[in-house]
Homo-oligomer: A and B are copies of this chain.
Amino acid sequence: MPLPKAEITRLRALREKKHREAAGLFVVEGAKVVGELLAADFPFAEIYATPDWNPGGGVPPPRETPPTSTRGAETPRLQAISPAEMAKISHYPTPSPVLAVGKIERPPLPPGALDHGLTLALDGIQDPGNVGTILRIADWFGLARVVLSPDSADLFGQKVINASMGSFARVAAHTAGLADALAGATVPVLGCDLAGDDVHALPPLRDAVLVIGSEGRGLSAAVAARLTGRVTIPRFGRAESLNAAVAAAIVCDNWRRLAP
Protein backbone atom coordinates (compact mmCIF):
# COMPACT_ATOMS: atom_id res chain seq x y z
CA MET A 1 0.00 0.00 0.00
CA PRO A 2 1.44 3.41 -0.92
CA LEU A 3 2.66 5.63 1.85
CA PRO A 4 -0.03 8.24 2.65
CA LYS A 5 0.95 11.81 1.96
CA ALA A 6 0.54 12.73 5.63
CA GLU A 7 3.02 10.02 6.54
CA ILE A 8 5.56 11.31 4.01
CA THR A 9 5.17 14.78 5.48
CA ARG A 10 5.58 13.45 9.02
CA LEU A 11 8.67 11.39 8.15
CA ARG A 12 10.23 14.22 6.13
CA ALA A 13 9.87 16.49 9.13
CA LEU A 14 12.06 14.10 11.12
CA ARG A 15 15.00 15.33 9.04
CA GLU A 16 15.11 18.27 11.43
CA LYS A 17 16.37 17.77 14.93
CA LYS A 18 13.71 20.01 16.46
CA HIS A 19 10.97 17.86 14.94
CA ARG A 20 12.67 14.67 16.08
CA GLU A 21 12.90 15.97 19.60
CA ALA A 22 9.28 17.20 19.52
CA ALA A 23 8.11 13.79 18.30
CA GLY A 24 10.46 11.91 20.64
CA LEU A 25 11.69 9.88 17.67
CA PHE A 26 15.06 9.31 16.03
CA VAL A 27 15.88 7.96 12.59
CA VAL A 28 18.60 5.64 11.32
CA GLU A 29 19.13 4.66 7.73
CA GLY A 30 21.19 1.96 6.08
CA ALA A 31 21.00 -1.81 5.85
CA LYS A 32 24.15 -2.32 7.94
CA VAL A 33 23.20 -0.22 10.95
CA VAL A 34 19.51 -1.21 10.95
CA GLY A 35 20.56 -4.86 10.69
CA GLU A 36 22.96 -4.47 13.63
CA LEU A 37 20.29 -2.92 15.82
CA LEU A 38 17.68 -5.52 14.87
CA ALA A 39 20.23 -8.26 15.65
CA ALA A 40 20.58 -6.64 19.09
CA ASP A 41 16.76 -6.67 19.49
CA PHE A 42 16.44 -2.92 19.42
CA PRO A 43 12.69 -2.14 19.65
CA PHE A 44 12.20 0.05 16.60
CA ALA A 45 8.75 1.56 16.30
CA GLU A 46 8.68 1.73 12.52
CA ILE A 47 10.70 0.34 9.62
CA TYR A 48 10.35 1.51 6.01
CA ALA A 49 11.99 -0.71 3.41
CA THR A 50 12.18 -0.87 -0.34
CA PRO A 51 12.12 -4.24 -2.17
CA ASP A 52 15.95 -4.01 -2.26
CA TRP A 53 16.22 -4.47 1.47
CA ASN A 54 17.69 -7.80 2.47
CA PRO A 55 17.95 -7.85 6.24
CA GLY A 56 20.40 -10.75 5.98
CA GLY A 57 22.85 -11.49 8.73
CA GLY A 58 20.55 -14.15 10.16
CA VAL A 59 17.97 -11.60 11.21
CA PRO A 60 14.46 -12.60 10.19
CA PRO A 61 12.77 -9.56 8.65
CA PRO A 62 9.81 -8.31 10.65
CA ARG A 63 6.56 -9.13 8.92
CA GLU A 64 4.69 -6.26 7.38
CA THR A 65 2.05 -5.16 9.83
CA PRO A 66 -0.91 -2.81 9.44
CA PRO A 67 -0.24 0.73 10.60
CA THR A 68 -2.73 0.63 13.44
CA SER A 69 -1.50 -2.50 15.13
CA THR A 70 1.71 -2.40 17.04
CA ARG A 71 3.39 0.97 17.02
CA GLY A 72 5.42 1.24 20.21
CA ALA A 73 4.98 -2.45 20.96
CA GLU A 74 7.74 -5.02 20.56
CA THR A 75 7.31 -5.73 16.87
CA PRO A 76 8.12 -2.75 14.71
CA ARG A 77 5.58 -1.72 12.14
CA LEU A 78 7.18 -2.67 8.81
CA GLN A 79 6.05 -0.88 5.72
CA ALA A 80 7.19 -1.79 2.24
CA ILE A 81 7.66 1.35 0.17
CA SER A 82 8.91 2.21 -3.28
CA PRO A 83 12.36 3.68 -3.97
CA ALA A 84 10.59 6.90 -4.97
CA GLU A 85 8.87 7.05 -1.60
CA MET A 86 12.17 6.30 0.16
CA ALA A 87 13.80 9.17 -1.72
CA LYS A 88 11.12 11.46 -0.28
CA ILE A 89 11.56 10.41 3.35
CA SER A 90 15.32 9.76 3.40
CA HIS A 91 17.61 12.26 5.08
CA TYR A 92 20.31 11.53 2.53
CA PRO A 93 20.88 12.50 -1.09
CA THR A 94 21.48 8.78 -1.81
CA PRO A 95 18.77 6.85 0.00
CA SER A 96 19.43 3.40 1.40
CA PRO A 97 16.91 0.54 1.18
CA VAL A 98 15.81 0.89 4.79
CA LEU A 99 14.92 3.66 7.21
CA ALA A 100 13.99 2.88 10.80
CA VAL A 101 12.37 5.04 13.44
CA GLY A 102 12.83 4.51 17.16
CA LYS A 103 11.81 6.22 20.34
CA ILE A 104 14.21 8.69 21.92
CA GLU A 105 14.55 7.68 25.54
CA ARG A 106 17.05 9.34 27.81
CA PRO A 107 16.72 7.51 31.10
CA PRO A 108 18.04 9.55 34.04
CA LEU A 109 20.84 8.09 36.08
CA PRO A 110 19.26 6.35 39.09
CA PRO A 111 20.60 7.66 42.43
CA GLY A 112 23.54 5.61 43.64
CA ALA A 113 24.01 3.89 40.27
CA LEU A 114 27.62 5.04 39.89
CA ASP A 115 28.58 3.15 43.05
CA HIS A 116 28.09 -0.18 41.30
CA GLY A 117 30.26 -1.46 38.48
CA LEU A 118 32.53 0.33 36.05
CA THR A 119 31.30 3.53 34.41
CA LEU A 120 32.64 5.66 31.57
CA ALA A 121 31.57 9.30 31.94
CA LEU A 122 31.90 11.55 28.89
CA ASP A 123 32.56 15.19 29.72
CA GLY A 124 31.71 17.12 26.58
CA ILE A 125 32.84 14.59 23.97
CA GLN A 126 31.42 16.27 20.91
CA ASP A 127 32.73 14.10 18.10
CA PRO A 128 29.93 11.63 17.31
CA GLY A 129 32.39 9.04 15.98
CA ASN A 130 34.19 9.10 19.32
CA VAL A 131 30.95 8.72 21.28
CA GLY A 132 29.87 5.77 19.16
CA THR A 133 33.30 4.15 19.41
CA ILE A 134 33.18 4.59 23.20
CA LEU A 135 29.81 2.79 23.33
CA ARG A 136 31.42 -0.08 21.40
CA ILE A 137 34.35 -0.10 23.86
CA ALA A 138 31.99 -0.10 26.87
CA ASP A 139 30.15 -3.02 25.28
CA TRP A 140 33.35 -4.99 24.55
CA PHE A 141 34.62 -4.58 28.11
CA GLY A 142 31.21 -5.25 29.65
CA LEU A 143 31.04 -1.97 31.55
CA ALA A 144 27.98 -1.23 33.64
CA ARG A 145 27.09 2.01 31.88
CA VAL A 146 28.10 5.12 29.96
CA VAL A 147 27.03 8.55 31.20
CA LEU A 148 27.04 11.45 28.75
CA SER A 149 27.15 15.08 29.81
CA PRO A 150 24.42 17.10 28.09
CA ASP A 151 27.05 18.85 25.93
CA SER A 152 28.36 15.57 24.51
CA ALA A 153 27.30 14.45 21.03
CA ASP A 154 23.66 13.40 20.90
CA LEU A 155 23.31 9.68 21.50
CA PHE A 156 20.51 9.49 18.92
CA GLY A 157 22.49 10.95 16.03
CA GLN A 158 23.11 8.64 13.09
CA LYS A 159 26.90 9.05 13.28
CA VAL A 160 26.98 7.97 16.92
CA ILE A 161 24.79 4.96 16.22
CA ASN A 162 26.80 3.96 13.12
CA ALA A 163 30.13 4.12 14.95
CA SER A 164 28.77 2.04 17.82
CA MET A 165 28.40 -0.95 15.46
CA GLY A 166 25.26 -2.14 17.25
CA SER A 167 26.50 -1.41 20.77
CA PHE A 168 24.04 1.51 20.92
CA ALA A 169 21.36 -1.13 21.51
CA ARG A 170 23.28 -3.03 24.18
CA VAL A 171 24.93 -0.45 26.44
CA ALA A 172 23.09 1.32 29.26
CA ALA A 173 23.58 4.98 28.39
CA HIS A 174 22.38 7.87 30.52
CA THR A 175 22.52 11.62 30.05
CA ALA A 176 23.28 13.56 33.22
CA GLY A 177 25.00 16.68 34.46
CA LEU A 178 28.30 15.11 35.48
CA ALA A 179 29.30 17.43 38.32
CA ASP A 180 26.04 16.73 40.16
CA ALA A 181 26.02 13.02 39.33
CA LEU A 182 29.59 12.58 40.54
CA ALA A 183 29.00 14.56 43.73
CA GLY A 184 27.21 11.63 45.33
CA ALA A 185 29.57 8.89 44.16
CA THR A 186 31.36 6.92 46.88
CA VAL A 187 33.66 5.06 44.46
CA PRO A 188 36.93 6.22 42.90
CA VAL A 189 36.30 8.89 40.25
CA LEU A 190 39.29 8.95 37.95
CA GLY A 191 39.96 11.57 35.30
CA CYS A 192 41.89 10.56 32.20
CA ASP A 193 44.66 13.13 31.99
CA LEU A 194 48.15 13.76 30.68
CA ALA A 195 49.47 13.97 34.23
CA GLY A 196 48.28 11.38 36.71
CA ASP A 197 48.98 7.96 38.12
CA ASP A 198 50.29 5.32 35.74
CA VAL A 199 47.35 3.32 34.39
CA HIS A 200 49.50 0.18 34.60
CA ALA A 201 49.71 0.53 38.39
CA LEU A 202 46.03 1.15 39.16
CA PRO A 203 44.68 -0.74 42.14
CA PRO A 204 42.16 -3.50 41.35
CA LEU A 205 38.78 -1.79 41.04
CA ARG A 206 35.39 -3.46 40.92
CA ASP A 207 33.45 -0.18 41.11
CA ALA A 208 34.82 3.04 39.65
CA VAL A 209 34.15 5.90 37.25
CA LEU A 210 36.51 7.03 34.50
CA VAL A 211 35.85 10.53 33.20
CA ILE A 212 36.98 11.28 29.65
CA GLY A 213 37.25 14.96 28.76
CA SER A 214 36.80 16.63 25.43
CA GLU A 215 39.83 16.53 23.14
CA GLY A 216 39.79 20.25 22.67
CA ARG A 217 39.01 21.50 26.16
CA GLY A 218 40.00 18.64 28.45
CA LEU A 219 38.06 18.05 31.66
CA SER A 220 35.67 20.81 32.70
CA ALA A 221 36.48 22.61 35.95
CA ALA A 222 33.24 21.53 37.65
CA VAL A 223 33.93 17.88 36.84
CA ALA A 224 37.64 18.11 37.69
CA ALA A 225 36.60 19.25 41.18
CA ARG A 226 34.81 15.90 41.68
CA LEU A 227 37.77 13.68 40.81
CA THR A 228 39.37 11.49 43.45
CA GLY A 229 42.36 10.80 41.20
CA ARG A 230 43.85 11.16 37.76
CA VAL A 231 45.17 8.39 35.56
CA THR A 232 47.58 8.67 32.67
CA ILE A 233 48.75 6.38 29.89
CA PRO A 234 52.55 6.31 29.72
CA ARG A 235 53.90 8.05 26.63
CA PHE A 236 57.07 6.99 24.82
CA GLY A 237 56.95 9.28 21.80
CA ARG A 238 55.98 12.77 20.76
CA ALA A 239 52.21 12.85 20.12
CA GLU A 240 50.59 15.49 22.33
CA SER A 241 47.65 13.31 23.26
CA LEU A 242 45.65 10.24 22.37
CA ASN A 243 42.20 10.19 20.82
CA ALA A 244 39.49 10.20 23.55
CA ALA A 245 38.08 6.79 22.60
CA VAL A 246 41.56 5.28 22.36
CA ALA A 247 42.44 6.55 25.83
CA ALA A 248 39.17 5.22 27.26
CA ALA A 249 39.84 1.79 25.75
CA ILE A 250 43.35 1.57 27.19
CA VAL A 251 42.09 2.37 30.68
CA CYS A 252 39.27 -0.19 30.31
CA ASP A 253 41.76 -2.86 29.21
CA ASN A 254 43.88 -2.13 32.29
CA TRP A 255 40.78 -2.08 34.55
CA ARG A 256 39.88 -5.55 33.33
CA ARG A 257 43.45 -6.83 33.49
CA LEU A 258 43.76 -5.71 37.11
CA ALA A 259 40.18 -6.56 38.15
CA PRO A 260 39.75 -8.10 41.62
- Measuring CB to CB, which residues of chain A are less than 8 angstroms from any residue of chain B? 129, 133, 136-143, 165-167, 170, 199-200, 233-243, 245-246, 249-250, 253-254, 256-257
User: Would A246 and B166 count as touching, CB distance under 8 A?
Assistant: no
Between A and B, 28 residue pairs with Cβ closer than 8 Å are A133-B243, A136-B243, A137-B242, A137-B246, A139-B239, A140-B236, A140-B237, A140-B239, A140-B242, A141-B235, A141-B237, A142-B236, A165-B240, A165-B241, A166-B239, A167-B239, A170-B237, A170-B238, A199-B253, A236-B256, A242-B249, A245-B246, A246-B246, A246-B249, A249-B250, A250-B250, A250-B253, A253-B253
Whole-angstrom distance from the CB of A224 to the nearest CB of chain B?
Answer: 23
4 pairs of A and B residues whose beta carbons are closest in the complex: A142-B237, A142-B236, A139-B239, A140-B239
Set B233, B237, B241: member contacting A138, Cβ < 8 A: B237
Given A165-B239, A243-B245; 18 other pairs, CB 8 A cutoff: A129-B129, A133-B243, A136-B239, A137-B239, A137-B243, A140-B237, A140-B242, A141-B237, A142-B236, A142-B237, A167-B238, A170-B237, A170-B239, A234-B256, A245-B246, A246-B246, A249-B249, A249-B250
